[in-house]
Amino acid sequence: MKQFSQLFSTLETSNKTNDKISALVHYFSTATEEDKLWLIALFTGKRPKRPVKTNFLKLWAMEISEIPEWLFLESYASVGDLGETIALLLPPSENSIDQSLSVWMKEIIALHDKTDEEKKEFVTNAWKNLDTQERLIFNKLIGGSFRIGVSHKLLVNALSKYSGIDENALMHAIIGKWKVEETQFSELINGENINTDASKLYPFCLAYPLENELEKLGEAKDWQIEYKWDGIRGQIIKRNEEIFIWSRGEELVTEQFPELVENIKNISGNFVLDGEILAIKEGQVLNFNDLQKRLNRKNVSKKMMEEIPVGLYVYDLLELDFEDLRNEKLEIRRQKLENLIQNAENFKSQISNLRLSEIIDFNNWEELHEIREKSREINSEGLMLKSKNSIYHAGRKKGDWWKWKVAPLTIDAVLIYAQKGSGRRSAYYTDYTFAIKDGEKLVTIAKAYSGLTDKEIMEINKFIRNNSLEKFGPVRTVKPELVFEIAFEGIGYSNRHKSGVAVRFPRILRWRKDKTVEEIDTIETVKSLIM
């Protein structure tokens, strides 16, 4: 545990990517095979089910530390994390257990079959023999809340540096279905029993926000204009009859979209497509909130697929019959893409939810302004402007691809809840919850933490400290007096929110010191924004 604890500390305290990668490489170079395997499992979300109720952990910690519940709750409210609160409140350890991560994990898993008394004995004994940092990790592991700020991409980068194995191959190998108890570390990273070559994806080509007037782009005829959609950007790969779907975050999401896989099967040949996965019903693109209901599900029911069917708007063709097309001009890639899709057998009936991204017909730059303004009517975010001569480059390159989004939607809402931030913001209330009017009461509409200056944050902090009404753990209920203009990209109905609506990418546009709570928007006004 000590080795893993040191790694955890480095990853949590450093904000430099290279330092994190170096720490991971060092761990892979020095840890046992079993410990390396467990690290990958934990960092990719394959943690075991929680064997001990968190309420028991709280009670046992209060008993050992001999503090009343009110003091524990106050400490928890200040710290903001249960595992860390317990680790800090417990008395210094009596001894030291030098036990590996893999041994700890096996013992934690074995707790599922133990009685509550046996669980208590195991947990309290561990607390007595672990230092504060090790206790924190132990608490997170046993409480089922282990999370760490390391993306799959960063983990794979470190694994690649350690092993010399291609990053794309590693990503496919570690993200797939596998069990710690049935896998060896070397087998996992080498992708045994997995055809990693078939799944290899390309770096995504990305766009910059439009910076200048359209006229400065040159001749309008030299540009391909498409709608910008708010879905899941993905690469769809079909090689040797195997199909893989990758998100822009380089996560393998094939199993989440079974109907899309069936669509792709109806297109003959080998290819790599770039496109947008969207919820599409009866030919209409649905709100992102609808699509969100389909995401991160291990099993997609037939009912779910009927209620929220997904489809693909295809943007680009990156590979055809194993030939890399990325250095071809966009207009050439587009022609080949059209030939591929339009020649697909039974195209209209078999793959109705897979279609070419529409190329917008326009005569001059002036016409695009009106087209862009109307784009939200079809649940589009705006327009994409692509040079017909552009290659499919990796990442962002100014000049070739631009995104021109519609102006955000805005509402006026009042601050009702506040919570301290993290990192350099951990001493200040920077995470806010806002509400709108629903008759005579207030209902929450959005959470936001960006858009204010440091000076404004200081002012708001002073107000919160002087005007807190209630405490719920780390959260403070605040007098509903401060009004803010909240901007967001989209809005849709939602059963998961008290207001009945959910907003997309909310942020604070400005502090409306000129408005009172009586002037904030109503639920009726907000719902009228839904298309």
Query: Contact, 39 vs 4, CB < 8 A?
Result: yes
- Residue 228 designated active-site: yes
Catalytic residue chosen out of the listed positions 20, 58, 228, 405: 228
CB-based contact 226:274 (threshold 8 Å): no
HSE-CB for 122 with a 13 A CA cutoff:
22
C-alpha dist (Å) from residue 214 to 158, 206, 369, 389, 399:
42, 19, 9, 17, 12
Distance CA 145, CA 123 (A): 16
Q: Which amino acid is at 449?
A: Y
Characterize the bridge pairing of strands 409-420 and 380-387. unpaired
Q: Are 420 and 429 in contact (CB under 8 A)?
A: yes
Q: What is d(CA 13, CA 446) in angstroms, rounded to the nearest whole number?
A: 30
User: Three-state DSSP class for 478?
Assistant: strand
Strand ranges inside 265-392, DSSP E: 271-281, 284-285, 310-320, 323-324, 354-356, 380-387
**Alpha-carbon Rg for the chain in angstroms:** 26
**What CA–CA distance (Å, rounded) separates 487 from 265?**
41
Give the full edge-to-edge strand order of the sheet including 223-229: 208-209, 401-405, 380-387, 223-229
HSE toward the beta carbon, residue 321, CA cutoff 13 A: 5
CB 182 within 8 A of CB 192: no
Q: DSSP of 35-77, one letter per residue?
A: HHHHHHHHHTT-PPPP-S-HHHHHHHHHHHHT--HHHHHHHHH
Both tokens assigned to 280: 């599409």
Residue 388 carries which DSSP code?
A: T
- Among 123, 151, 129, 152, which residue's Cα sits nearest to residue 50? 123
Amino acid at 307: E
CA gap 447, 415 in Å, rounded:
10
| Cβ-contact 312, 263 below 8 angstroms | yes
Residues 6+ away with beta carbon under 8 Å from 75: 67, 85, 88, 89
Q: Which helix (H) or strand (E) holds 159?
A: helix 152-163
Bridge partner list, 247: 234
Q: Which residues are catalytic?
A: 228
